[in-house]
Amino acid sequence: MKLFIRLSIAIFILASSFCFAAQHSRDYLNIALLFKEAAEYERAIEVLERARAQGFDERQDKHLAILYYLAGKSQKALNVLDRMPQKDWLAFLYLGLIYEDLGKTNKAKDAYLKTLELKNNSIALYRLAKIHYNKKSYRKAKQFFSQLIKLDPSIRLAYYYLGECFLKESDFERSYHYFSKAIKFYPQNRQLQKKLAISKKKLGKRFFAKRKKSKEKERKEVKLSAYIREEGIPMVRVGLVRGLERFSFRCGQDFIIKGKKRTFKGRADRFYTFVWSKKGIKLTDYKTNAVYRKFSAPIKIEAQTHPFYLLDVTYGKGDFWHKKIDRIYRGNLEIVAGSEGMNLINILSVEEYLYGVLPAEILPFVHSEALKAQAVAARTIAMRSKGRHRKEGFDFCNDVHCQVYQGLSVEKEKARAAVKETRGEVLLYEDNPIEAFYHSNCGGCLRSDMFGKRGYLVNKIDKAPSSSEVGIEDFSAYEEELWFKAVPRTFSSTKDSVFRWQRAYDAQDFMFIFGFALADLKEVVFLEEGDCFHHHKMQLETIRGTTQLVGDLKIRNFFDKLRSSAFKLEIKYSHKKVPQMLFFWGAGFGHGVGLSQKGAINMADQGFNYRQILRHYYPNTKLKKMY
């Protein structure tokens, strides 16, 4: 609706033959970019061609060249950029894209390298990698795919292509490593399944037997030290894994297993395995599979002073941080019956729980005031969310749906200190713990609309207030374009990919991800936009029909797990109006509501204490010590 109104105004002005001569340079750009936003490239070009007739303007020329390129007129785009005496990183980036479209790959590579000298960006790295990959120069392709993952590990396709490069060079161990990562993202992709199977077969059974033996040796050497359990603090139940058919564990001391009717005394430092079937749950020997006891759920697994060591715990399913890894947990364990298997629960104090949340949610070596702000936010969520997964037998899960919790394995002293120094402190609004939403990076703008309006959530630019500040809702089309392609100064500003990110998908990529041709895409329509340019509702028209995407996560997940739903989309067409590439220009990492972790870190580095940070991100709240 917002775009429709803005576009209607643009059409009215255009029909008026630009009789408003004042400030015409910026006005022409605004109108052209409104047409660009609606993928009306030809009309946008018409506006800027009129502007050029009235005099040279470098900003207009750069955008005109971009529009020519997107409209499938790369030679015209090149003619415009060639005349520009000074080129910034963005001009060099599009110059590389233009040369690549014209088949001049050597010149394209030079332009991409020049843009990288000025600004590290995902599109240049990705296109350089793809050029070398398509030319079978796998050594160079590996170099740029690796740099791309280092810059933005959320670009999941890069793992697949790296696996391909290593496979082509007969480096089967590393091809297996990257294909194993990629298969977690694209489990149904048959092409990837075949490549993974090839790598596995080439490595042979002996390789995996040796790896397993090495891993078992490492597991035996893991030390489980005693600790003093926190007392007088509310207890919480954390769902670690759901639907388990089996899991293995050990404890650093003798422990007790209690079922409904039966008990079993487990021995220190001996591995055991629980196995589920529809007939019941069995406790077996880890090595021999000999059965020790049969149990009926719920089953309690209790120790006095030592933690439990669990094997192959899965977290981050589908995301770029997806892993299956061994973890150590404080407290006790409990097994409850789930619909598809066992639900494994960790029972411990909320403070001990936070020790394993903070290092999983924020870098544990950042400024202590930022860690304390995070500790208060995480504790507030825990106190507010108790019982969220009651039907499954626990309070909250261990993943991003609630909060990421990875147990004692990830604990760091600095993060523990932040929890201890804020012990019991919770944020209240109208005497109740708030939903203290937080995320990695707001992209420079905090939104308040995703989870419904609340008195402690605000829509504002993430910086100290200023009387001269223009609200983001009043941005012109040109200012909005700059917002995504520049690095505005805010508390959350960084040079890495969590603040400003890019994605590029060519026809090959699109087919791999979506399973149909990019050429079959007819139109993308943005139907609703929320705060901070986050898309709330959009529609894709293809020759197969219409797909409607509603909500932050559905939009992000559909396009291969974008970092956020705040983005500009550019569709590059051929001269025959066939889609050839998609470009995403995005801001932030996460939903953008509440505390921006990077903003909190930067505020702390600038001298703000954790109370001031919390007031900035959760205004109108009170900090209270609950215990």
Burial (CB count within 10 angstroms: exposed 0-12, middle 13-18, buried 19+), residue 4: exposed
Mean pLDDT score of the chain: 93
Tokens coding 42: 């030809």
Question: Are residues 427 and 436 in contact, defined by beta-carbon separation less than 8 angstroms?
Answer: yes
pLDDT tens digit string along 576-614?
999 999 999 999 999 999 999 999 999 999 999 999 999
End-to-end CA distance of the chain: 49
CA-nearest of 403, 369, 613 to 492 is 613
pLDDT over threshold 50, residue 22: no
Beta bridge mates, 505: 582
Q: Give the pLDDT of residue 15.
A: 44
Burial (CB count within 10 angstroms: exposed 0-12, middle 13-18, buried 19+), residue 626: middle
Q: Give the pLDDT of residue 469.
A: 63
Q: Give the pLDDT of residue 315.
A: 62
Residue % of the chain over a pLDDT of 90: 85
| Every domain of the chain and the residues it spans | 1-64, 235-425, 437-593
Question: Are residues 356 and 406 in contact, defined by beta-carbon separation less than 8 angstroms?
Answer: yes
Q: Give the pLDDT of residue 21.
A: 43
Q: Give the pLDDT of residue 104.
A: 98
Burial (CB count within 10 angstroms: exposed 0-12, middle 13-18, buried 19+), residue 247: buried
Tokens coding 150: 């280092």
pLDDT over threshold 90, residue 101: yes
DSSP helix/strand/coil, 283: strand
Task: Work out the average pLDDT over 164-189.
Answer: 96
Four-CA torsion 484, 490, 495, 498, nearest 10 degrees: -70
pLDDT over threshold 60, residue 16: no
Q: Which residue has the higher pLDDT, 324 or 379?
A: 379
Report d(CA 225, CA 86) in Å as an integer: 62
Beta bridge mates, 112: none
Task: Work out the average pLDDT over 331-352.
Answer: 94
Question: Are residues 251 and 270 in contact, defined by beta-carbon separation less than 8 angstroms?
Answer: no
Tokens coding 1: 């609706």
Q: Give the pLDDT of residue 468.
A: 54
Least confident range from 38-42, 163-167, 351-355: namely: 38-42
| Helix 368-385 with 597-605: angle, nearest 10 deg | 150
